[in-house]
Amino acid sequence: MMNAERGFRIATSIVAASAVACGGNEFVLDPAGPQAGRVTDLWWYMFAVAAIVWVLVVAALLYAARHGHGRDVPDQSDETNDRLRRPVSIAAGITVLVLVATLIYDVTAGEALASLPRDKALRIKITGHQWWWEIQYMDPVSGNQVSTANEIHIPTGEPVQIIGSSADVIHSFWIPNLAGKKDLIPGHATAMWLQADKPGIYRGQCAEFCGHQHAKMAVLVMAESRQQFNSWYNSQLQPAAPPPDSMSKTGEKIFMSKGCPLCHTVGGTMAQGHIGPPLTHIGSSYTLAAGTLKNTRGNLAGWIVDPQRIKPGVRMPPNDLAGPELQALLSYLESLR
């Protein structure tokens, strides 16, 4: 068992290391918080029980194969039945006990995962869209709410309450290193909580098939110190920075005249659309299109010109822009930090 566990721990670190290379930790057996820790403990318990049962069954099978060899006709005498009644009853009793213990452990872990802290936890509303995540920080002070997309910053060591819902079909919010899955259901709020004890970037993935681009619906959680979180939060509260140079200024005009504001919000401007993700601070995000692309100028250009090629079925239409127009628009979007 210890060897099996060691093997799994080695596999864990290899997978975790390769996941980091792809832009964030994403492995269910490498918990970074208490909620994920409970899920992992339950997993190891079930793995141990299943491994022991498997070994016992295989041993019994080998024993029977060795000692029952040569008997063509099953022995069904009353004497044999009486002899076997006791061991079979004991085995059935042990099976029932193991199943009941597993059920109790499972229900207890589920209760612990569902219990919400009563103190003033950070509350974040997450709305699933085909195919991106809308993230709203529900600060009780009016004017202190932050809206963003696909990247969630949280302070480490503090409980975070997630209120989930969906704008279209059922999605499922899952950050394997931090907590179990929670469905996001249209017209129905669900709640869960999570906590990251170790700083880092944790990748999550929509875990409920939600249409053509379900696979390209990733989310990143940035767990950072309270101080870093506060400074990020304050930067998000600011409206969009004014274009710093003439190229970005031209880009802003193109953005406002090409229909982009119908779907996207840029805080502090006339762009107040809510169909697509807010772009007020798009220049500082790690990825584009819900984790589909790294946020580079080239990827952004490809996305704007032909998003259907990158993520077929996405609601963003293609844009026929002349080279200089596209470059100006890219400069504007990059300046939104």
Are 254 and 246 contacting, i.e. CB atoms less than 8 angstroms apart?
Answer: no
Tokens found for residue 228: 């870093």
- DSSP classification of residue 242: P
Total of chain residues touching ligand CUA, rule CB under 6 A: 9
Residue among 307, 244, 234 at smallest CA distance from 277:
307
**Minimum CB distance to ligand CUA smaller for 156 or for 166:** 166
In the complex, what is the shortest distance from the CB of residue 186 to ligand CUA, in angstroms, rounded to a whole number?
Answer: 12
Other CB atoms within 10 Å distance of the CB of residue 273: 16
Q: How far apart are CA 249 and CA 244, in angstroms?
A: 7
- Provide the 3-class DSSP secondary structure of residue 128: strand
Asked whether position 217 contacts ligand CUA by CB under 6 A, the answer is: yes
- CB 215 to ligand CUA: min, Å: 8
Q: Closer to ligand CUA by CB, 126 or 217: give it.
A: 217
Position 216 contacts ligand CUA (CB under 6 A): no
214 binds ligand CUA (CB under 6 A): yes
Q: How far is CA 216 from CA 163, 183, 295, 300, 310, in A?
A: 22, 17, 15, 16, 10
Find, among 174, 185, 167, 207, the residue nearest to 315 by Cα. 167
Binding positions for ligand CUA, 165-184, rule CB under 6 A: 171
Q: Please state the closest distance from residue 318 (CB atom) to ligand CUA, in A.
A: 23
* Phi, psi angle pair for 19, to nearest 5°: -65, -40
| In the complex, minimum distance from the CB of residue 289 to ligand CUA, in angstroms, rounded to a whole number | 13
Q: Closer to ligand CUA by CB, 267 or 291: give it.
A: 291
- Smallest gap from Cβ 205 to ligand CUA, in A, equals 8
Residues 194-213 that bind ligand CUA (CB under 6 A): 206, 208-210
Provide the 10 A C-beta neighbour count for residue 93.
10
- Smallest gap from residue 127 Cβ to ligand CUA (A): 11
Report the nearest approach of ligand CUA to the CB of residue 209 (Å).
Answer: 6
Task: Work out how close the CB of 131 gets to ligand CUA at its nearest, in angstroms, rounded to a whole number.
Answer: 6
42 binds ligand CUA (CB under 6 A): no
* DSSP character string of 12-79: HHHHHHHHHHTTSB--TTS--SHHHHHHHHHHHHHHHHHHHHHHHHHHHHHHHHHHSTT--S----HH
Comparison of 210 and 329: residue with beta carbon closer to ligand CUA: 210
Between 131 and 232, CB nearer to ligand CUA? 131
Surface-to-core class of residue 261, CB atoms within 10 Å of its CB (0-12 exposed, 13-18 middle, 19+ buried): middle
84 vs 215 by CB, closer to ligand CUA: 215
The answer to whether 266 touches 279, Cβ cutoff 8 Å, is yes
Of 132 and 232, which has the nearer Cβ to ligand CUA?
132
- Per CB under 6 A, 38 contacts ligand CUA: no
Give the shortest CB-168-to-ligand CUA separation in angstroms.
Answer: 9
The answer to whether 336 and 281 have CB atoms below 8 angstroms apart is yes
* 115-154 positions binding ligand CUA, by CB under 6 A: 128, 131
> How many other CB atoms are found less than 10 A from the CB of residue 212?
13
Q: Beta strands 146-149 and 132-137: pairing type?
A: antiparallel
Which CB atom, from 27 or from 131, has the smaller least distance to ligand CUA?
Answer: 131
Nearer of residues 166 and 295 to ligand CUA, judged by Cβ: 166
**Contact positions vs ligand CUA (CB under 6 A):** 128, 131, 171, 206, 208-210, 214, 217
